[in-house]
Structure 1
Amino acid sequence: MKFHEAANIFPLDEEHLGELEDDIRQHGQQVPIELLDGKILDGRRRYIACGNLGIQPKTTTKTREEVGHPHDRVVTLNVHRRHLTVGQLTLIANQCREIHEQEAKERMVQGGKEAGRGRKKGVKNSSHPISKGKSRDHVAAQFGISGFAVDQGRRVVRDGIPEIQDAIKQDKITLNKADAVARLPVDRQAAALEEAKQKGKSPAMKQANGDDSDERKGGTAFLQAYKAIDVLKRIPLKHPQRKDAFGVVRKWIANTLKQE
C-alpha cells in the first residue's frame, strides 16, 4: 500500500519501530490506519510494524469531506505526537506553506480564466484556499511556532546550503544559529556551520549574532536588529505613511546613538 504524499511531510520515525512492534504484539493495534484515496494518510509506522509482525492492519477510509485539506489533517494528527525542535518544525511548516501558496496561485490563475469567460473580475471564489499573505500565519498557528520562526526556516531553505537543513534535522544546531549561518555569503556557510556544530560558538556566527545562548549578555543584538528590519519590510511600498514611518525610525536611531 502506498503512502499519501501528504503523509510524507513528517519524517518516518523508524528508530522506535521496534517498540511499536512490541506494543502491537502485546496489546494489538489500537489505532486504525487512516486511508485517503486508497493511500495511507496516517499510520505509516503502524502499517510497517504490522507487516513485520505478519498481522493484517486495521484501517479506516476517510473521505475528502471528512479530512479537509490532507496536509492540514496530517499536521493536526502528528504535530503533538512528535518531539521535534522548533527548527525541525519550521522546515516542515515551510513545506506546508509552499503547498498553500502554490494552491493559492493556481486558483488565482483559474479565477482569471473564469473572468475571461464572462465571470466578473473581483468576484471572490468562496472555496479559495489560504492566500499567500496568510499562509505564514496559518502554518505558524498549526505548528505552534511564531511567524518569525517560519520566516527563519524559509530563509534557511532559500539562502542556506543544504547541509544547514541536515544539521537542523539532526538537532545539531538551533534555528537561530542556522538562520545566522544562512545570512552569511554562501562561500562562508560551510565553515561557519561546521564550527557551530562542533563548538556552538563560531566566530563567524558571533559576527552574525545568531548564538542564542548569550541572549542575556546582548549576544543576539544583530538577530534582534534583523527582526526589526523584517517587521519594517512588511510596510507596503506604496503605503502613504511609509516615508513618515521610516523617518520616525531614523530619528529614534539617531537620538539613541547620541545618548550612548
Structure 2
Amino acid sequence: MAGPAPDCLKIDKSTAHRTGNAGAADGRFAIGAPAMAPPRLQPHALCAAFPDMDAADYTFLKEDVAANGVRQAIVLLDGQILDGRHRYRAAMELDMGCPCTIFAGKDPQQFVVSANAARRNLSASQRALAIVSVFEWRPLGSNQHGGWAPGAHPPKSTAELAKLTGLSERTIKQAKQVKAADRPDVADEVRSGTLSLKGATERIKPSQRAHASAPKPAGKQAVGEPSSSPLAPVIAPAQAQAPAPSREGSNAEAAPADEKIAEIDALKKLVQALEVELAQEKTRARDLERKAKLLGTELEQEKKRGRRYAQLYPQLQTLLKVSSSEAMVTAVERLVARTK
C-alpha cells in the first residue's frame, strides 16, 4: 500500500505538457508554492509504464538540476510519483530539494500520456507497449480527492489505441500479446528499446504453444468403472489391441528436433546481444553528437572574439602611435604606471 502523500499543491486539471526540466506549469494548473517531496518515493505504475531516460539524457538532466534546481514540480498520486521520476532521482542524488504537487484530476492515464508526449526518442515498440500498459491499468480504489473511481475509464479498443498513438493496429496487437504473455523479462527488453515487438512476439510463441499443447487433466472416473459413452464397447477392444508406441523411434525423431531448437535459441541469444550492443552504440553516438555541438558553439564564440580583437588592434595602434606589438605593450605599461 502506498504511503501518505505530503501536503502539496493540488492540480485542478488532468492534462499537462512538459519538456525536460525547463518551464513551469501552464494556465491549466492552480498557482501556488509547492511543498518539498519526501525521500524514498517510488514511481507510480502509470509512470513506470514509460521507459527510463537513456544514460546520456539523464546526465544532461542531472547537470541542469545541479545548476538550476528542479524548476518544474513533480506530480504525485497516492504517495507515488506520477510524473517527474528522473527529476526526483537527480535531486535526491544531488541532495537537493524537489518541489511536488498532488494530482487531483479525473484522468491520470491521459495525464501520463500527455506528460510523456514530448519524448520523441521512443521507438514505435516502446510507445505501443507503454500506451497499452497505461490503458490496461485499473486503480485499486477511489482517489482520496474524489476525482475518479475504479473502472471509470472504459477500456480502449485496438483501433482506438492505434488512433491515439498514430501507430498501426498490428503494432498495438503485438503490444497486447506481449503484455498478456506474463513474460516480464521480454516486456522489460521491449521497454528498454533492446527488443522490438515483432521479436518479442516471436520469442513468446514457443511458450504459448507449449501451454496450448499441455495434456489436459483426466476425468475423475474410478478405476474399473465402465465408461458412460455409447461407443465404449467399440473403443475399449481397439485400445486393448493397439500396439504400444516405440520409444526408440520417438527418441530418434526427437533428437534432430532438439538440436534445431538449441541452434535457434543460440541464434536468438546472439541477435539479442547484438541488439543490446547496437542500442549502446546509438547512445554513445548521441552523446558524441551533443558534445560536438557544444564544441562547435564554443569554437564559433572564439571566432567572434578573434574578429573583434582584429578590429580593435589597428585602432589601438593608431591611438598609441606605435607600429609593432612590442611597442604597443611598452606603451600600455607606461600608461598603467602613470595611473598608479
TM-score, normalised to structure 1, is 0.53
Identity of aligned residues (%): 25
Whether contact under 8 Å (1:33, 1:60) holds in the other structure is: yes
Query: Which residue of 2 is the match for residue 197 of structure 1?
Result: 272
Give the number of equivalent residue pairs.
Answer: 173
CA distance in 2, matches of 1:50, 1:128: 35
Higher relative contact order (CA 8 A, sep 6+): 2
Q: Secondary structure at the match of 1:40?
A: strand
Query: Which residue of 1 is the match for residue 107 of structure 2?
Result: 69
CA distance in 2, matches of 1:95, 1:171: 16
CA-to-aligned-CA distance 1:82-111 (integer Å, 9 cap, x gap): 5221222222222123226x99xx9xxxxx
CA spacing shift, 1:63–1:156, aligned 2, 3 Å: closer
Query: Which residue of 2 is the match for residue 53 of structure 1?
Result: 94
Cα RMSD after superposing both structures: 3.6
CA drift of 1:152 comes to: 0.8
Which letter does structure 2 place at the counterpart of 1:194?
A: K
Q: Which runs of 5+ in 2 are unaligned?
A: 1-37, 142-149, 211-257, 276-340
TM-score, normalised to structure 2, is 0.42
Query: Which residue of 2 is the match for residue 44 of structure 1?
Result: 85
CA-to-aligned-CA distance 1:34-91 (integer Å, 9 cap, x gap): 2334443211111121222232222333313xxx321221121014325221222222
Q: Secondary structure at the match of 2:137?
A: helix
Which letter does structure 2 place at the counterpart of 1:88?
A: Q
**How do residues 1-260 of structure 1 correspond to structure 2 at under 5 angstroms?**
1=38, 2-3=41-42, 4-13=44-53, 15=55, 16-64=57-105, 68-81=106-119, 83-99=121-137, 129-132=152-155, 134-159=156-181, 162-184=184-206, 185=209, 190=265, 193-194=268-269, 196-197=271-272
CA-to-aligned-CA distance 1:148-180 (integer Å, 9 cap, x gap): 211111223434855533442343333223333
Which letter does structure 2 place at the counterpart of 1:59?
A: C
Q: Which runs of 5+ in 1 are unaligned?
A: 107-126, 201-260
Which letter does structure 2 place at the counterpart of 1:5?
A: A
CA distance in 1, matches of 2:266, 2:123: 23
Which letter does structure 1 place at the counterpart of 2:48?
A: N
Whether contact under 8 Å (2:91, 2:98) holds in the other structure is: yes
Which letter does structure 2 place at the counterpart of 1:8?
A: A
CA distance in 1, matches of 2:191, 2:151: 33
Q: Which has the higher helix share?
A: 1
CA distance in 2, matches of 1:63, 1:50: 24
Computing the radius of gyration over CA atoms, which structure comes out larger, 1 or 2? 2
